[in-house]
Amino acid sequence: MLNIRSVLLSYCALVLLAIPVLAHAEWAPLSQLGLNKPLSLELNNLEGNTIHLQQYKGRVVLVNFWATWCEPCKEEFGELIYLQEKYQSQGLVVLAVNLAESRPRIKTFLQTNLVSENALPIVLDNSSLTYRAWKVRGIPTTYLVDRQGIVRAYWMGPIDAEDPSFLKLLLQTLK
């Protein structure tokens, strides 16, 4: 009985985590999350250096929460690299926030998927404090931060770099 209960609880947790991914992803206003103040981010990158969101002031930042075990995150990684490469000259930075995984595991993921460690800035949210502070409901989730450092919207589910609603808001913010 206890084993069946554990299996059912695990299944329910997986379904709840998958809901944002299975739903049609779109930009949503932050008011839906109840975020009424500027958000901060201070995490270490793969080299152990501290990265602050403030250091990107003057640039548009996509803050993407992901994990190596998340299939939609894996599929989305190429889209994020494409966006960084295409819009970097217009001031875009894609900051990939990994959830509670070790450096070796992330490096193995990058090597397995033939991704350079420098393709995107990757930071480690080992304690998931940033995940909770930003009220992430599931992964992948991406936040759009404008040039003044203000979070303007969030996107639940994998990014499609060609999606018209995604591109419209991104390009408006890059202007």
Return d(Cα 150, Cα 58) in angstroms, integer.
11
pLDDT (tens place) for every residue of the chain, 175 residues total: 555 654 444 444 444 444 444 444 667 666 666 665 668 899 999 999 999 999 999 999 999 999 999 999 999 999 999 999 999 999 999 999 999 999 999 999 999 999 999 999 999 999 999 999 999 999 999 999 999 988 889 999 999 999 999 999 999 999 9
Neighbours of 175 (CB within 10 A): 8
pTM of the model: 0.82
Neighbours of 151 (CB within 10 A): 19
Burial of 39 (0-12, 13-18, 19+ CB in 10 A): middle
SS3 state of residue 157: coil
Return d(Cα 90, Cα 68) in angstroms, integer.
29
CATH topology of domain 2-174: Glutaredoxin (3.40.30)
Q: Measured in whole angstroms, how far is the alpha carbon of residue 37 from the centre of its chain?
A: 19
